[in-house]
Amino acid sequence: MLLWPASLRLTRQHQPVRTFALDIGNTAVKYGCFEGNALLESESGQTAAQILAALQRLRPTHGIVASVAEPTGEWAAALRQELSGQVLEFSPATTPLPLHNAYATPHTLGADRLAAAVGAAWLRPGHDTLIVDAGTAIKCDLVEGGHTFRGGSIAPGLRMRFEALHKLTGRLPLVEMPAEAAAPIPLTGHDTQAAIRSGVLNGAAAEVNGFIASYQQQFPQLGVVLAGGDAAFFQPRLKGLIFGIPELVLIGLHRILAYNVKL
């Protein structure tokens, strides 16, 4: 009978488990593949066919799916066809969590907000953290002491603001985001498009900085974790101790899966 060398047997026995986190957002489908606690790969804007190709190439064993846009059942069923281990459908109202959820209406809480809070709590244990998730909506959420999700605020995202000005008025044009996220936005717009761009972009940055300043008055050691598709715009414009972690929601989903499944 063939016996593996002892060193090889040890490597095989302790090989980290691969997990797959799937985040169904309002505008994009994102995935992250983890080995142990390390993020091996992540992608955004994925089709079902691209997700399947990633699963077949990366060969994870366990998975978790969360959605703010549609029911998770069909996605979970598709994952179960490819994965040999458990697939968890994340529900903010019922799924056990590695932090305390103090939100008054967990059944109305977006899965992305709570997953981001779990990710922030794991990355900054024992610390007060404000999460700024700048995506379709701009969410500012507080994790107190690294262990309690308190809730926060939800406001229109950048593109939603541009679209609202165009659709809800008679003559204002639809203005696009600047090609370079970090490019300066003049405070005074000398034409209509520039004025809209200043109002939306400078206004949103001032709004988020105002939230940060207000939270800092209550929590002087506050750290800010920045995530979401428009994080690159906000990164150079926010004040305080800023940690840019684009994969925060995926990290949180992975931690929720690890908490619920014996890996």
Q: Which of 11-20, 41-50, 51-60 is predicted with the least confidence, judged by mean pLDDT? A: 11-20
Given a cut of 80, is residue 4 above it in pLDDT? no
| CA–CA separation, 76 and 37 (whole Å) | 22
Q: Interior CA angle at 100 toward 121 and 63, to 5°?
A: 65
**Which pLDDT score, from 0 to 100, does residue 15 have?**
67
23, 112, 128, 141: the catalytic one is 112
User: Mean pLDDT over residues 43-52, rounded?
Assistant: 91
Predicted model pTM: 0.90
For the chain, what is the mean pLDDT?
A: 92
Contacts of 220 (CB under 8 A, 6+ apart): none
Strands 29-35 vs 18-24: parallel, antiparallel or unpaired: antiparallel
User: How many helices and strands, by DSSP H and E, does the chain display?
Assistant: 9, 11
pLDDT band (50, 70, 90) for residue 8: very low
3-state percent breakdown (helix, strand, coil) of the chain, nearest 5? 40, 25, 40
Q: Which of 12, 17, 62 is nearest to 36 (CA)?
A: 17
Q: In what order do the strands lie in the sheet with 100-101?
A: 100-101, 148-156, 137-144, 129-134, 223-227, 242-244
Known catalytic residue: 141?
A: no
Tokens 């700024």 correspond to 132
pLDDT category, 14, cuts 50, 70, 90?
low
Q: Average pLDDT for residues 92-100, to the nearest whole number?
A: 96
> Cα dist. 191→12, 164, 194 in Å?
65, 19, 5
Determine the Cα–Cα distance for residues 70 and 219; give it in Å rounded to an integer. Answer: 36
